[in-house]
Amino acid sequence: MNRLYELPAWRAAEQIRCGELSAEEYVAHLLDRIGEVEPRVRAFITLLDRENLLGQARLIDKRVKAGEKLGRLAGIPIAVKDNICTLGVRTTCASRMLENYVPPYDATVVERLKAEDAILLGKTNMDEFAMGTSTETSYFGPTRNPWNLERVPGGSSGGSAAAVASGMTPLALGSDTGGSIRCPASFCGVVGLKPTYGLVSRYGLVAYANSLEQIGPITFNVRDCSLLLSIIAGRDPKDATTINAEESYEASGGSLKGFRIGLVRELLGEGTHPAVLEAVHRFAGKLEEAGAELGEVSLPILEYALPAYYIIAMSEASSNLARYDGIRYGFRAEGEGLDWSREFSLTRSLGFGEEVKRRIILGTYALSAGYFDRFFLKAVKAATLIRRSLLEAFKNYTLLLAPTMPIPPFKLGEKIRDPLALYLCDVDTVPVNLAGVPAISLPAGFHEGLPLGAQLIGPPLGEQTLLKAAASYEEVSPESFRRPPI
């Protein structure tokens, strides 16, 4: 049976550019795979028209035959999380509030993908406004984990991770505010990279918490991850927070001699499932097998990471989502005899889901008079101390190692009515966002047929080092990089 969907993106692009593989054949194969799998997984909110996609692929094939030079992603379909703006293609943030919003421009990352001749496949499902850990808060319904359709795929970029894992697309973009790339990468058994803050432009990313979020790649293998990062990274005059940095990354693999890897003690403690602990230690053993030296590092300040993160994120969400008022754009509740204030209140009450409203209310409270100093200011100070603590650890260790998620993928509906239980799932991922440093989640084994993940954490702009270690791990642990039997 032809299984082109298992072909790595970098190899497929090479074959398309040299005429060995037809872009039309490749895209048609992936669309057939979507037709087979998507009704069960529900990874997409919007899929582009089949004839439109095949037409773009035919143009690529014509350019190949004409001898034109094509981009690094020539003919490769890519799925984009539905909070990243796409010209002429609706961008809903999985919310009723933006159900029919069609942006008049592309996000910078989408522009860069198109400049490399990638083909936009569709927009993936997510937690509403990226607020969640399970992709269950979507207005369009939950995405299911392709390893077990009764389990969550993680969130908030659950649609992107599920689409990659199940072979519907070789590449996807997600966004990571407190773990939203790494969590679904862990739960779906794929690779997810959260870049250094400022490395990738946020222009065109619908804002949730500006000081924390970054767009990043979700792929099936490390080399595809490095390729996608190379394309989307770099300075953007439209985003003043972006930085000049290395814009070409390689997944070179090989020996890790000279690498010192520190296991973070505080992220391996209470609340971590025994199977996850076993997987992380097995992961560490594989790195040691590749030549790395292992150690343990203690970062007591991480005790404050989760409360600091949620105060900062909810406060910024409260401010950012104030623009959705039913007047300028988006959903609007209309009724006879409603004055402006009642219409505004009704619009937001009906337009936002429960979790988004909860975060807006809590964030508004934290920013209110008398509480700003007690909550928000203290949270920002804690974030500064967490960053300093991590930077100090990198003086002795090349990279840090921790679980991505403290538990295996849980059942749909199991935690959705218990917000605190969901927030606690983010305990291992949020320190990275507070510190603005990069981290990559990699498949680390299985428990009862469900994927487990481990994350490597690097110093600021340490993406090349992360990718080197990730590629070395992939070489010595190929059994962890498997497709679900869907």
**Residues with a known catalytic role:** 81, 156, 180
157 prior amide bond cis, ω within 30: no
Nearest 5°: the CA angle 171, 13, 254 is: 75
Distances (CA, A) of 219 to 105, 186, 215, 246, 313: 25, 12, 13, 20, 26
Of 3.30.450.40, 3.40.190.10, 3.90.1300.10, 2.60.40.10, the CATH number of 1-486 is 3.90.1300.10
Contact predicate 176/83, CB 8 Å: no
3-state secondary structure 179-247: CCCHHHHHHHCCEEEECCCCCECCCCECCCCCCCCEEEEEECCHHHHHHHHHHHECCCCCCCCCCCCCC
Q: Is 87 exposed, middle or buried (0-12, 13-18, 19+ CB in 10 A)?
A: middle
The pTM score is 0.97
CA–CA dist 307, 119 (Å, integer): 40
Contact predicate 422/457, CB 8 Å: no
Walk along the chain (486 residues) and give the pLDDT tens digit of each residue.
Answer: 479 999 999 999 999 999 999 999 999 999 999 999 999 999 999 999 999 999 999 999 999 999 999 999 999 999 999 999 999 999 999 999 999 999 999 999 999 999 999 999 999 999 999 999 999 999 999 999 999 999 999 999 999 999 999 999 999 999 999 999 999 999 999 999 999 999 999 999 999 999 999 999 999 999 999 999 999 999 999 999 999 887 789 999 999 999 999 999 999 988 999 999 999 999 999 999 999 999 999 999 999 999 999 999 999 999 999 999 888 888 998 876 778 888 889 999 999 999 999 999 999 999 998 899 999 999 999 999 999 999 999 999 999 999 999 999 999 999 999 999 999 999 999 999 999 999 999 999 999 999 999 999 999 999 999 999 999 999 999 999 999 999
